[in-house]
């Protein structure tokens, strides 16, 4: 039996660190796959925030959630935010800082839409820094990077360098990839160890 895909591995790591009633963030809603997964995982007592800059992505996500049995009664309420993921810290209520169980990123472009509208290193790194501040101790952050499209390799390398530069006392980071397929998507993830203080990570 082969290894899990990067998407399945990301979900497995998140699921092991979240549960009913938790708060989670989908930083790149896309067509709603991660939003639905998070809403199922944290359940109706939890809450999910999903971000995207494209109205079509949020509409696709809304439809995906509503297509669940009983209109999604077993899912967490999901707030769909039309904004870039770098705004997540400002968009979430201040009292939720340090309480988020998981943040998931799926970089690149919206499947089925223009491949010229892509996530960018500068906003993605800003979003990752916000995500770390929002995470609770023990929380998980996952990033699926796509080096195979134009601009994707540079973004993936920027994310990997950012993860490598985090203090080991703050978080453990890991890379999960298939080296025989260098252009295929791969996963960068972290498990947060330490609560941030304002001096360690001021909001931007």
pTM summary value: 0.93
Q: What is the tens place of the pLDDT at every residue in 9-51?
A: 999 999 999 999 999 999 999 999 999 999 999 999 999 999 9
Give pLDDT, residue 178.
96
Q: Which residues contact 107 (CB under 8 A, 6 or more apart)?
A: 28, 118, 119, 124, 143, 144, 145, 146, 152, 155, 156, 159
Dihedral pair phi/psi, residue 11, rounded to 5°: -65, -40
Tell me if residue 97 falls in helix, strand or coil: coil
Q: How far apart are CA 192 and CA 25, in angstroms?
A: 15
Residue 200: pLDDT band (50, 70, 90) is very low
Question: Which strand ranges, in their side-by-side order, compose the sheet holding 171-176?
Answer: 78-82, 47-52, 23-26, 100-106, 135-145, 186-192, 171-176
Q: What is the tens place of the pLDDT at every residue in 49-107?
A: 999 999 999 999 999 999 998 878 899 999 999 999 999 999 999 999 999 999 999 99
Q: How far apart are CA 56 and CA 75, in angstroms?
A: 21
């Amino acid at each position: 039996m082969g290894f899990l895909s990067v998407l399945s591995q990301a979900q497995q790591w998140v699921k092991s660190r979240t549960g009913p009633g938790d708060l989670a963030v989908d930083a790149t809603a896309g067509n709603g796959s991660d939003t639905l997964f998070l809403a199922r995982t944290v359940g109706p007592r939890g809450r999910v925030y999903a971000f995207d800059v494209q109205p079509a992505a949020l509409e696709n996500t809304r439809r995906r959630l509503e297509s669940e049995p009983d209109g999604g009664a077993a899912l967490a309420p999901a707030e769909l935010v039309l904004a870039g993921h770098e705004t997540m810290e400002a968009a979430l209520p201040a009292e939720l800082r340090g309480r988020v169980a998981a943040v998931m990123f799926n970089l690149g472009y919206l499947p089925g839409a223009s491949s010229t509208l892509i996530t960018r290193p500068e906003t993605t790194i800003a979003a990752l820094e916000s995500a770390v501040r929002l995470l609770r101790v023990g929380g998980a952050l996952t990033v699926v990077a796509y080096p195979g499209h134009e601009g994707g390799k540079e973004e993936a390398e920027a994310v990997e360098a950012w993860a490598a530069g985090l203090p080991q006392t703050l978080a453990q980071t890991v890379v999960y990839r298939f080296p025989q397929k260098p252009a295929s998507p791969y996963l960068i993830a972290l498990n947060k160890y330490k609560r941030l203080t304002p001096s360690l990570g001021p909001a931007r």
